[in-house]
Chain A
Amino acid sequence: MNLTLRIWRQKGPEDKGRMVTYQVDDVSPDMSFLEMLDVLNERLILAGEEPVAFDHDCREGICGMCGLMINGDAHGPQRGTTACQLHMRQFSDGETIDIEPWRARAFPVIKDLVVNRNAFDKIIAAGGYITAPTGSAPEAHSTPVAKANADAAFESAACIGCGACVAACPNGSGMLFTAAKVTQLSLLPQGQPERYTRVIGMVDAHDEAGFGGCTNAGECTVVCPKGIPLNTIGRLNRDYLAATAKRGDTPGT
């Protein structure tokens, strides 16, 4: 396969950046998308040019490090698939492919296709946990959890924190990410004591980071490589309403 790539090149956070066109020939359909970029980079290095910087690590769809806007689609055209698991057989010979970084104020570009997603860590630090210092845990079987709740909690916990939801959201909102963690923890008995302080802390951190507001457009869940369902946002909203109603009498809020 021969492809034309138009890639966002940006030297650093201050640089304005622009789309640059590259030709990549002899691409095997068995290559992954990132391997195709590897091929381009090898060629650029030998030609004395700067290779394209892009984030990636596990290359098996679980670490959440990779994130590319491919032809305007977060993680590319194949649903339920991260960019690293996307293979070139999804494209056709002669195609032009546009590759851009996630675009959001809360995810500033570091270089080329690499963005800073520290805002997600801050949301977790603001309440996305259960306070259980090491050594303080009771026997695991002391609190049974209904299987349905455990399964639903797992479904939300599958989030890999890649940021595709933000990248695709017309509002640049990180609500699906936030809601996934809120949902997981509020479905479990262990998560109840901090249920309402958690949701307020996380939503505040989300807003402070400069993410947009949610309008339930649903784009996030379509592009989510792990299929985090949209109804998690309803769970977050319900907890948030309850929490704000209780704000006065919930210690710590």
Chain B
Amino acid sequence: MDLFIEGDPIADTKAPEGPIETRWDRRRFEAKLVNPANRRKMTVIVVGTGLAGGSAAATLAEQGYQVKSYCYQDSPRRAHSIAAQGGINAAKNYRNDGDSVHRLFYDTVKGGDFRSRESNVHRLAEVSVNIIDQCVAQGVPFAREYGGLLDTRSFGGAQVQRTFYARGQTGQQLLLGAYQALERQIGLGNVEMNARHEMLELIIVDGKARGIVVRDLVTGEITTEMADAVVLASGGYGNVFYLSTNAKGCNVTATWRAHRKGAYFANPCYTQIHPTCIPVSGDHQSKLTLMSESLRNDGRVWVPKAKGDDRAPRDIPEDERDYYLERIYPSFGNLVPRDIASRAAKNVCDEGRGVGPTKLGVYLDFADAINRLGRKAIEAKYGNLFEMYERITGEDPYEVPMRIYPAVHYTMGGLWVDYDLQSTIPGLFVIGEANFSDHGANRLGASALMQGLADGYFVLPSTIANYLASGPFDKVEASHPAVVEARADVEDRIQRLLAVDGDRTVDSFHRELGQIMWEHCGMERSEAGLRKAIDEIRALREQFWQRVRVPGDGEGLNQSLEKAGRVADFFELAELMCIDALHRGESCGGHFRAEHQTPDGEAQRDDEHFAYVAAWEYTGTGEPSVLHKEDLKFEYVHPTQRSYK
């Protein structure tokens, strides 16, 4: 293949040796410390204020570091972690149902389809219990039982009830907890908060990450910000598909800029497609809305047996309906994991049995549950979700079955980090969804919140000290050649975007890119499709730089300019995603290759050839990236074929 070059494998992930349950303790003990007086002399930049970034900035400030925090939203409270609905996993075993740190570790490695690092996942499971304590102390109003103790519920991929929740707004409540801790530090003067600022470049001095170039989105001013270390907590890149459940502003720019400066990008092709989203209603669609997975507890998924059956759902008799999940997966039925449910929906739609105006949808029917439990009970359980559905679609799900379709939801890939969450650039740390570390090829429900907060509250604040112990580093002046160059690059790029003055809008390019990605790098990928996608992306990227129209100038608020910069980076990322998907000749988790399936259509993993993390090194736009493999060793969890039949 001419698309990439294979480089040296990654030798050291810095994970300590020894029994897995002792590794995190050992790492913390062996790490160097920074004494409190020296902490005040050191500055850490944190980009992003979601669960990971918000909690990290607050915690680092509590420890005594000077923190500068950046977010593109108007307030740190608006980061997209806020939209997480379901819950957060923790191995508290309050239910006495056989849960333990080891079981959470095991479930997460298995759920990730054996493509994550055991040491990291075990640490995540250990820290999970502290997160709940921390959040309760902050006043997060988790759901409680009548006795006043915390309630938990079950979630996909686990047989124990370990998911803590705050109605359908767990992400919001956890984020507000972190945000309040952050605001407290802002009030105390320990954090300098820069809302409506976007990071556009990473500054590397003497091989170390020493700062960032940011644009003030209100004034348009471009400044260089220096620090002793940089932490990226800028989230995932699901918006490369244009339509996703991500917020409109979610972007890859911070991590992609770091990648271009030398940080490896790991497993970019691992994307999670969530099965229960409200289908696209027309060309105007700007984003997709998730309907909680919990709906599948009581709703039955079906499509008509006959192709092109246009009758209203209630007019289709029972024996002409195909409850396909119950038919194909009798033991798990409607509760199969996300990747399986999503692909099954795609398959029935591909057969021409999809429903709704676009034929890209399946029914999620509550008629049986309403008959069995009564409308009241269903209202109590899902009332707010039903209302939301009605607001968006104008249909009453108590009367007409919901229509749902899968949508891009989360990206497991991200910047490669070692056990310390440090990227391949010294001094550049990456946390939360922005890194690749803990979920392997598929993330379990309620694990994203756990990982974001584990990284931000507990892991990073310990591991970054080991790096900063060799500081404070020499002060870098704004006149340093590396700083001047980074700044000039940003200014030049903005000028280039403004100068094109073509005849197409940024959104029209983004939408077209998204269609290519969804078609060829979405729920099912094939060699031919991916090769076609790469060609199409390259051609479209060229068009973009010749025909995009960005109105206005770089001074002041210019939302089109913001979007243009983000889409330009998505183009480059999209190509790498396709290359990664193309090179991974197996199906695992969120990555399903048509060529690699079992005779009955299930994902076929290839542990012999692909039990590794693919970490990509940037060599220039249009140049082949270099692939570095990090072999995955499984000492505690033996890889098996997942089966839900």
Contact = CB atoms under 8 A, between A and B. Distances in A.
Direct contact of A and B (CB under 8 A): yes
Interface of A: 11-12, 28-32, 34-36, 38-39, 42, 44-46, 48-51, 53, 55-65, 78, 80-81, 85-87, 89, 110-111, 114, 116-118, 120-121, 124-126, 128-141, 143-147, 150-151, 153-154, 157-158, 160-161, 184-185, 188, 190-191
Given A154-B166, A190-B138, A129 B183 contact: yes
B82 A62 contact: yes
B92 A140 contact: yes
Interface stretch (B199-207, B260-268, B323-331, B500-508): B500-508
B contact residues, range:
35 or more
A30 B394 contact: yes
20 contacts: A30-B394, A34-B286, A46-B505, A58-B82, A63-B247, A65-B78, A78-B391, A86-B391, A110-B218, A121-B76, A121-B193, A129-B183, A140-B92, A140-B133, A141-B150, A144-B149, A147-B148, A153-B139, A161-B78, A188-B141
B148 A130 contact: no
B317 interface: no
B560 A45 contact: yes
Nearest to B287: A59
A118 B195 CA distance: 9
A111 B556 contact: yes
Contacts of A129: 138-139, 180-181, 183-184
Chain A binding surface SS class: loop
B344 interface: no
B530 interface: no
Contacts of A116: 74, 218
Give me the 8 closest cross-chain CB pairs, A-B, nearest first: A144-B148, A125-B187, A129-B180, A137-B137, A132-B137, A154-B141, A137-B133, A125-B183
Given A45-B560, A111-B556, A147-B148, A65 B73 contact: yes
Contacts of A154: 141, 143, 166-167, 173
Interface of B: 55, 58-59, 62, 73-78, 80, 82-83, 92, 94, 130, 132-134, 136-139, 141-150, 166-167, 169, 172-173, 176, 179-181, 183-184, 186-187, 193, 195, 218, 245, 247-249, 281-282, 284-287, 289-290, 387-388, 391-394, 457-458, 461, 503, 505, 507-508, 549, 551-552, 556-557, 559-560
A80 B384 CA distance: 11
Contacts of B181: 129, 132-134
A124 to B, nearest CB: 4
B137 A138 contact: yes
Given A87-B392, A130-B137, 5 more contacts: A53-B559, A60-B290, A65-B73, A87-B391, A114-B557
B183 A128 contact: yes
B173 A146 contact: no
Contacts of B289: 59-60
Contact of B83 (A44, A46, A50, A62): A62
A175 to B, nearest CB: 19
B306 to A, nearest CB: 27
Contact of B138 (A57, A63, A130, A141): A130
Contacts of A130: 137-139, 180
B82 A144 contact: no
Given A150-B143, A191-B139, A161 B133 contact: no
A56 B180 contact: no
A190 B245 CA distance: 34
Contact of A49 (B141, B184, B387, B551): B551
B286 A59 contact: yes
Given A111-B557, A140-B150, A141-B150, A121 B551 contact: no
Scoring B132, B180, B289 by chain A CB atoms within 10 A of each residue's CB, the highest score goes to B180
A188 to B, nearest CB: 5
Given A38-B284, A45-B560, A150-B141, A132 B134 contact: yes
A70 to B, nearest CB: 15
A153 B73 CA distance: 26
A157 B148 contact: no
A138 B75 CA distance: 30
Nearest to B76: A121
A31 to B, nearest CB: 5
